[in-house]
Structure 1
Amino acid sequence: MSRTMLITGATGSVSSALLKALEGADVDVRALVRDESRADGPREHDAEVFVGDLDDARSLPAAFAGVQDVWLLTPNGPRAPEHNMNAVWAARQAGVERIVRLSVVGAAHDAPNRSGRLHALSDRETERCGMRWTILRPHWFMQNLLNEAGDVSATGAFSLNLASARIGMIDVRDIAECAARVLLDDPDRHHGETYTLTGPRSLTFDEVAGQLSLALGRPVAYLPVSDDARRKTLLGVGVPTWIVDMLEEYAQAYATGWGDFTTDTVAGLLGHPPRDLADFVRDHAAAFTSADTN
């Protein structure tokens, strides 16, 4: 009998890629969305859409009813553990068999950033949920670079407060394919496992600029800036203060070498190496190219 999977955070980058990775699999896929107006994306991947919000426990039972497997992704924010709690409770009440949870790299009670500490609380709850569970802890997303595409396109440069940090960044598509592999395998195979997912090598942002230069056929520069300068930029475009504080904490940790590592976990799960930065840049080159240079 086909299993039913519920994908939370269904309109975000990782869950959208997961829905694509699950296309054609012998499973019934549901997608939880907060806003009905954004349901078209999940429906394009053959998912049955349920409207609900992890912030509102009363909105969840219908989506979880009859589900065997839950992909649990909570948005970053100070209430993330509450959102995880609501989902775990709804899963338990519905008789769900397995939770596969998206955490963050380095999640721990003593992580140097609030996101890592909050995710550690939710990881621990998931480990004690009474269901089968697997936790994925991915490194810095290559797709974060798309936030700098406008500047690269307009000025040939991008600015981050990451100094000379070296990071084992990963393509979101590899995270999604690992999640799909876990969800499609026998529930016992990955039970109790926590997987730290990285790309194939640790990179500086000067090396990122070099790869962009090669792919675009024109010079691209990385311009390190101070925490204060980055904060002013992010607040100026409407990023919430809590998120700006969180990103600053990550940047400070990465600048000390905290993110300078890789694992072979992706290759172990998928049977092939993760995508390199060159693959990401080639596939997304159009995003870094202004209309007048296409």
Structure 2
Amino acid sequence: MQAPENLKPIPRSVLVFGAANHLGTPLARYLQQHAPQIRLRLVSTRPEGRETLRRHFPDAEVISANWFDPASLKPAVQGMEGIFINTPGGTDEQPAMTNLVAAIKEAGTAIHILRTLGLQPEASPRRIPEAVRQAFLGLPVQHPIAKRILDASDLPVTYLNLGATFMDNFFWMKAALVQQRKLIWHNRLITFIDPREVGEAAARLLLCDNHRHIGQFHTLNNGQDLLRFSDVAQLMSEVFAETITYNGSKEAFFDAYAPMGELRQLLWDFFEYERANEVVWAPNNFLERTLGRKPLTVRQWLEEHAAALLAAMPK
């Protein structure tokens, strides 16, 4: 049987918002290594981020742009055929995406746009507790706003829904691991993903000529790990060859993460909301099919980062 025809042109230029973070950097690195002919324009709002990008990507154009400053977005998107959009937690998506859509439409050059989301698939907004609605994290509220605006724009968008927790979040839990050999975190049930592989998958989709991805909502996880954090503590014990105990109580969480201040309650409320709807999470093989290999497991990630997770904290 003859393979169906693919119709999407490969972008000759790619704009990466959040290029200095743990998704944007591996995306840019993959494009630099596998498609050096593509013109890269890398965005970071932080001066230190731009300096890092200039060191690692000397052939790329490094700029600053602000979601809430239309004048900065127009030159950012000008002439760009591929665009990767990743907004930080707390972004007010209504003005941010309204401004960006207007700039992209005015430029008129976009072939393929990737937008990251963090949603429980098909979750009803009516089930979102008020505390979570008001939290600055706001993903269950803000990301549907972003999707509605992009859907209405008729721009060539593919949604990458990060239906998993990032494995490098374990570094948030490092202090208790080092000091007490204890994992302290909410005992949520969740799938997992290495952010480096999200960046690579995004790059591969930009380089893919299959037009059928445009308009799709793809949920990404490693397809292998659906775990509670008590399960992760057991994995850590096996990988580290020493006992890692677990405490998922609210009291331990608030004590361990006291420096977060009010953020502790916002996170806890968010995790409780996710736990109330945890049956929605299911491993899938989209990331594996996109990468062309099995994604990294939690065990493999822990083996790679064991020394760093257990190394003494700087004084």
Which residue pairs with 1:106 in the alignment? Answer: 120
- The reply on whether 1:269 has 2:269 as its aligned counterpart is no
Q: Is the 8 Å Cα contact of residues 11 and 81 (structure 2) preserved in structure 1? A: no
Matched residue SS, 1:74: coil
Unaligned runs of 5+ in 1: none
Offset from partner CA, 1:70-96 (integer Å, 9 cap, x none): 101111115133222222222122113
Q: Is the 8 Å Cα contact of residues 82 and 206 (structure 2) preserved in structure 1? A: yes
Which residue pairs with 1:30 in the alignment? Answer: 41
- The reply on whether 1:186 has 2:209 as its aligned counterpart is yes
The match for 2:67 among 54, 62, 86 is 54
**Over alpha carbons, which structure has the higher Rg?**
2
Offset from partner CA, 1:206-247 (integer Å, 9 cap, x none): 221122223322221221111x6535654x3246x4x54552
Matched residue SS, 2:99: helix
Query: Once the 2 structures are TM-superposed, how far is the Cα of residue 274 of structure 1 from its aligned partner?
Result: 1.7
Q: Give the aligned residue type for 2:193.
A: I
Q: Give the aligned residue type for 1:253.
A: Y
Q: Give the aligned residue type for 1:265.
A: F
Query: Once the 2 structures are TM-superposed, how far is the Cα of residue 36 of structure 1 from its aligned partner?
Result: 2.6
How many pairs are equivalent? 286
Q: Is the 8 Å Cα contact of residues 117 and 143 (structure 2) preserved in structure 1? A: yes
- The reply on whether 1:142 has 2:162 as its aligned counterpart is no
Counterparts in 2 of 1:72-87, with a 5 A limit? 72-77=85-90, 79-87=92-100
Tell me how far apart the structure 1 counterparts of residues 72 and 255 of structure 2 sit (CA, whole Å): 37
The match for 1:67 among 53, 74, 80 is 80
Q: Is the 8 Å Cα contact of residues 132 and 188 (structure 1) preserved in structure 2? A: no
Distance change in 2, residues 1:79/1:233 (3 Å)? farther
Using the TM superposition, name which of 152-161 and 82-91 deviates more: 82-91
Tell me how far apart the structure 2 counterparts of residues 55 and 99 of structure 1 sit (CA, whole Å): 19
Q: Is the 8 Å Cα contact of residues 32 and 51 (structure 1) preserved in structure 2? A: yes
| TM-score normalized by the length of structure 1 | 0.87
Query: Once the 2 structures are TM-superposed, how far is the Cα of residue 35 of structure 1 from its aligned partner?
Result: 2.3
Tell me how far apart the structure 2 counterparts of residues 17 and 78 of structure 1 sit (CA, whole Å): 22
Q: Is the 8 Å Cα contact of residues 17 and 173 (structure 1) preserved in structure 2? A: yes
Distance change in 2, residues 1:86/1:260 (3 Å)? same
The match for 1:45 among 42, 57, 68 is 57
Offset from partner CA, 1:83-130 (integer Å, 9 cap, x none): 222222221221132321011131655263541221011012112222
Distance change in 2, residues 1:109/1:260 (3 Å)? closer
Which residue pairs with 1:168 in the alignment? Answer: 191
Query: Once the 2 structures are TM-superposed, how far is the Cα of residue 14 of structure 1 from its aligned partner?
Result: 1.4
Query: Once the 2 structures are TM-superposed, how far is the Cα of residue 148 of structure 1 from its aligned partner?
Result: 0.6
Tell me how far apart the structure 2 counterparts of residues 230 and 80 of structure 1 sit (CA, whole Å): 30
Q: Is the 8 Å Cα contact of residues 93 and 145 (structure 2) preserved in structure 1? A: no
- The reply on whether 1:287 has 2:314 as its aligned counterpart is no
Distance change in 2, residues 1:245/1:95 (3 Å)? farther
Query: Once the 2 structures are TM-superposed, how far is the Cα of residue 203 of structure 1 from its aligned partner?
Result: 1.1
Q: Give the aligned residue type for 1:37.
A: E
Q: Is the 8 Å Cα contact of residues 109 and 120 (structure 1) preserved in structure 2? A: no
Matched residue SS, 2:23: helix
The match for 2:182 among 157, 160, 165 is 157
Quick one: percent identity of the two aligned structures? Answer: 23
Q: Is the 8 Å Cα contact of residues 209 and 222 (structure 1) preserved in structure 2? A: yes
Q: Is the 8 Å Cα contact of residues 8 and 72 (structure 1) preserved in structure 2? A: yes
Tell me how far apart the structure 1 counterparts of residues 28 and 254 of structure 2 sit (CA, whole Å): 33
Q: Is the 8 Å Cα contact of residues 189 and 228 (structure 2) preserved in structure 1? A: yes
Unaligned runs of 5+ in 2: 1-9, 133-137
Which residue pairs with 1:250 in the alignment? Answer: 270
Q: Is the 8 Å Cα contact of residues 209 and 220 (structure 1) preserved in structure 2? A: yes
Tell me how far apart the structure 2 counterparts of residues 2 and 181 of structure 1 sit (CA, whole Å): 12
- The reply on whether 1:3 has 2:12 as its aligned counterpart is yes
Matched residue SS, 2:211: coil
Tell me how far apart the structure 1 counterparts of residues 118 and 77 of structure 2 sit (CA, whole Å): 24
Q: Give the aligned residue type for 1:45.
A: F
Which residue pairs with 2:239 in the alignment? Answer: 215
| TM-score normalized by the length of structure 2 | 0.82
Tell me how far apart the structure 2 counterparts of residues 66 and 14 of structure 1 sit (CA, whole Å): 23
Distance change in 2, residues 1:140/1:45 (3 Å)? same
Q: Give the aligned residue type for 1:237.
A: P
